[in-house]
Amino acid sequence: MKLTILFGGASFEHEISIVSAITLKEKLSSFDLSFIFCDQDHSFYLIPAQKMKAITFSKAEHKKMPKLSLVNGAFLEKKMFSTIEHKNTVLNLIHGADGEDGTVAALLDFFSIRYIGPRVNASVFSYDKRYTKWLCEAKGMKSVAYEMLSLHEHKNITLEYPVIVKPASLGSSIGVSIVKDESELDYALDVAYEYDKSILIEPFIKGVKEYNLAGYMANGKMVYSIVEEPQKEEFLDFEKKYMDFSRSEQVLKADISAELESKLRASFDKVYKNMFEGALIRCDFFVVKGEVLLNEINPIPGSMANYLFEDFAGGLEALASSLPHNKRASVNYDYIHSISSAKGK
């Protein structure tokens, strides 16, 4: 299968995206892969597979490589006397802003480029954790209790300590703190406001059971990964999650009942269906007293959660063969012609 991996982007998760792309190069060695890097200035570069190393980007060597532009249906490489159109299906592997907020999805849709990844509406509701809470409410799903704070509106929180403070629009546990009492709150807020103007406060549930489940829809059927119970201390901090982005070895399936696995899949379906078609996503759930709560939606999980699937490569092929298609409006100027005829012009 021919596949182009699009990675990088202008976000706090820029380097994590590079790690994910390098991991997938190894994981999808049977594919005919090409790599397009989006730098912090939103320029696109075609990266040779042999140059897919961290040092290529840390030393800005990518700037010596072919620069690309976009045309309808393709990324365009201009040579001295010719042009080359790169028309492979694109895998959106840009984490955080640009990739997960809908910016890249809108760009690819605008130029009619086929891609694996969340569409614009799905990106909006999963990237901003406030909107994810509203999505839960609209779909009749339960999530962790929360309060919202804004940089421009000071108010006291009413949740009991300890609490978790997190930026509303950021992943990889960046800017996240556990606050055990009121004396620690101001510092945690200062850290979170470095990354976002909106913040979510949630209760810290000690000893909560957490499970990760990934999946996608292909040829009209839902395909699920194994359920993983992540190993953690208080919570998955940035360092642990950063290592997750380079994972390629399959993990062990969580030791849970068939009933709980069925509940997790049912909750995953509610999130995915009629919104995330065309994407492989991962949902992180909490289980409290047998009740499933949605914690977070990962619309572009680290290294695409390859380690949760028995046949990750086959899954991507199946997904690529059943991507949603947006029908473009046909423009024929009949209305303008009718006005011109009526006016005799």
Q: The domain that contains 163 carries what CATH number?
A: 3.30.1490.20
Q: Are residues 164 and 15 in the same domain?
A: no
- List helix spans (H) across 226-283: 238-244, 258-272
Judge whether 216 and 279 are in contact, CB under 8 Å: yes
Block residue for tokens 């290294």: 303
E-assigned strand segments in 64-154:
67-71, 74-78, 83-86, 89-92, 115-116, 147-150
151 and 188 co-located in one domain: yes
pLDDT at 243: 52
State the residue range of the domain holding 213: 124-142+207-320
Residue in 317, 316, 320, 295 with CA at minimum distance from that of residue 306: 316
Same domain? For 138 and 111 the reply is no
Would residue 85 count as lying in a domain? yes
Whether residues 225 and 307 share a domain: the answer is yes
- My answer on whether 212 and 287 are in the same domain is yes
CATH number at residue 75: 3.40.50.20
Confidence (pTM)? 0.89
Alpha carbons 240 and 261: distance in angstroms, whole number: 25
**Residue 76 shares a structural domain with residue 131:** no
CA 199 distance to own-chain centroid: 19
> Is residue 25 within 8 Å of 17, Cβ to Cβ?
no
With respect to residue 329, please indicate whether it lies within any of the assigned structural domains: no
283 CB-near residues (< 8 Å, 6+ apart): 212, 213, 214, 267, 268, 271, 294, 296, 297, 298
On whether both 153 and 135 belong to a single domain, the answer is no
Q: Is residue 333 part of a domain?
A: no
Within a domain: residue 339?
Answer: no
User: Residue 268 belongs to a domain with what CATH number?
Assistant: 3.30.470.20
229 touches 210 (CB < 8 A): yes
**Which residue type sits at 8?**
G
Print pLDDT tens along the chain (345 aa).
999 999 999 998 999 999 999 999 999 999 999 999 999 999 999 999 999 999 999 999 999 999 999 999 999 999 989 999 999 999 999 999 999 999 999 999 999 999 999 999 999 999 999 999 999 999 999 999 999 998 877 778 889 999 999 988 876 577 888 999 889 998 999 999 988 899 999 999 888 899 999 999 999 999 999 999 987 655 545 455 445 556 667 788 999 999 999 999 999 999 999 999 999 999 999 999 889 999 999 999 999 999 999 999 999 999 999 999 877 888 889 888 888 777 665
Question: 168 and 217: one domain?
Answer: no
Residues 137, 157, single domain; the answer is: no
179 with 155, same domain? yes
Give the closest residue to 125 by CA, choosing from 283, 332, 12: 283
Structural domains of the chain, count: 3
Which pLDDT belongs to residue 334?
Answer: 86
- Verify that 130 and 247 share a domain, yes or no: yes
**For residue 313, is it within any domain?**
yes
Same domain, 111 and 169: no
Does residue 332 belong to any structural domain of this protein? Answer: no
pLDDT at 238: 47
Which two tokens mark 169? 């629009």
Does residue 257 lie in a domain region?
yes
The answer to whether position 303 is within a domain reads yes
